[in-house]
Amino acid sequence: MSETTTSKIKTLTTSTFDSEIGNGDTYLVDFWAPWCGPCMQQLPILEQFADSEPKGVTVAKVNITDEPGIAEKLGIRSIPTMIVFRDGEEVLRHTGLAAPAQLAKLVE
């Protein structure tokens, strides 16, 4: 199954992760895998949230199958997991499906 995301969702990789989340912005990063059923359920919810253009928040994804080092470094044990980063630091973590309203609360 290929990844299909809106252009408003950034895809982070090992080579871009640290520089992106460390740039001073707020990031909501979804850790997912294409073989994960709940992750596929989360995708349209995340796209809807990103399309709402949450003020001051960059929405991003990390495919843990392609980027296992990032998942290991952050201790991702279950997916989907969403982490909010501010100024490169983790401030909040949510594991499991999240509705758009829950995503908005995460980044408040």
Q: Is the peptide bond before 80 cis (omega within 30 degrees of 0)?
A: yes
CB atoms within 10 A of CB 59: 24
Work out the pLDDT band at 29, boundaries 50, 70, 90.
Answer: very high
Stated as kind and residue range, the H or E segment containing 32 is strand 26-32
The continuous run of DSSP H or E covering 71 comes out as helix 68-74
Catalytic residue among 9, 21, 39, 74: 39
- What does the pLDDT average to over 85-104? 93
| Arithmetic mean of pLDDT, 46-73 | 93
Whether 47 is catalytic: no
Catalytic residue among 36, 40, 45, 104: 36
pLDDT of res. 7? 64
Residue 36 annotated among the catalytic residues of the structure = yes
At the fourth CATH level, which superfamily is domain 9-106? Glutaredoxin (3.40.30.10)
